Amino acid sequence: MLTKITDHIYQKAVPLPNNPLREINVYFVTGEKNLMIDTGFNRPECEAALQEAIAELGIKEFDIFITHLHSDHCGLISKFSQAGNCLLTGETEGELINFEAGNLYWNMLDDLFIKYGFPKANFGRNTDIHPGRKYCNAGRVDFTYVKEGDILQYGGYTLQAITTPGHTPGHMCLYDAENKILFCGDHILGTITPNICIELGVENPLQDYLNSLAKIEKLDVSLLLTAHGTMVSDMYARIQELYQHHEARLQEVLSILTNEWKTAYMVAQDMTWEIMCKDWESFPAPQKWFATGEAISHLQYLYFLGKILKEERNGIYYYKKAEDIKG
C-alpha cells in the first residue's frame, strides 16, 4: 500500500520476505524533481513493490538517496538506477556499499566476528547465509557523495544531510528544518531498537550511536519518518527510551562478566533477547550473528570506559571485569 504522509511525501511498505523486520518503509518525495529514499533487498518481491509504487505515483524519473549500507536499504540501487538520475549517499556508506558487492568485504567481516568468539561455520563462511550478503546490491555504483550539511531540494522541501554514525559507520538522515521533518532511516525506530553492531574499521559503535542520538535530540522535529515499524509520535521520548535501553544493556553485560575471561559470543548467550526460541542453540544462525554484534558493541563501550579489560589470546578477544583482575 502507498500511503500519503503529507504534501508530496509518500511511504511504501516494501516486504522483506522471511525476515524478522517484515517490511521496510521506502519514502518518495515528489515534485518537479522526485526522490526515492532507500530501496529494499535485492529481491524480486521488493522490486515489484517499488515498481507498483512508482506506477501509482506516475513518476518516470527520480533520484535515489541511501541512508546506509545495509542491504534492505540499498539492495536494489543498481536495478533502479537510470540515465540522468543521481544516486546519493554519504561517502563512508558509498565506499562500503561498493566494497560489500565483492567477496572480500564479507570474508573480512566473518574473520572479524571469529576474533570475537563467533564459531567458524562448518558450511563455508558464516556470511554465506547472512541476509545482507544474499540480497545485497549486485555491482559497483557510481554515487554522488553527500556531505554533512549538504542541501537536497525535492518537492518543495529543503533536506539537509546529517551524519548519524552508530547503526552503521556513515549512516545519514535528511532533515527539513522549516517543516520539522526528519527522514531517519534506522537511526531511530519505534517498535524495535536499532541494531548496534561492530563493523570493519569501527572500534566503539555504541559510543558513536549515543553521540548521534544526542545530536538529533537537539533538532526541532515533529514528524519522524522511520525505515521500519510504525510511526513514532514523540521522537524525544523515544530517544530517552533508547538511552535507557542501552544503559540497561550495559548493566546486563557487566552482570554477565565474572572473574573468568569471556568472548563476546559467550556473553551474547546469556543476554536477554526477544526471540521465540527456547534457548541459544535454537537461535537461527543470522540472529546469533546480530546478537553477538550487539554484545561486541556493548563490551567495546565498557572497555573504552575502562570498566572492563580486553585481552587477545590465540587470535580471539576475551573480556573480564576490571576489578576482577589481580595484579
Looking at residue 327, what is its pLDDT? Answer: 39
What is the predicted pLDDT for the residue at 255?
A: 95
The model scores a pTM over 0.85: yes
Give the pLDDT of residue 258: 86
Cell numbers at 57, concatenated: 505515483
Residues 6+ apart with CB under 8 A from 176: 157, 158, 159, 160, 182
CATH of domain 2-242: 3.60.15.10
Closest CA to 326 of 313, 301, 309: 309
Residue with cell 558513536: 208
The pLDDT of residue 324: 52
| pLDDT-flagged residues of the chain (< 50) | 325-327
CATH 3.60.15.10 domain residues, the chain: 2-242
Pick from 94, 38, 92: nearest CA to 208: 92
User: Quick one: how far is CA 101 from the chain centroid?
Assistant: 17
In angstroms, how far is CA 228 from the centroid of its own chain? 11
- Whether 26 and 5 have beta carbons less than 8 Å apart is answered as no
Fold type of domain 248-322: Arc Repressor Mutant, subunit A (1.10.10)
CATH 1.10.10.10 in the chain: give the residue spans: 248-322
The C-alpha cell at 15 is: 516486504
Predicted local confidence at residue 1, as pLDDT = 80
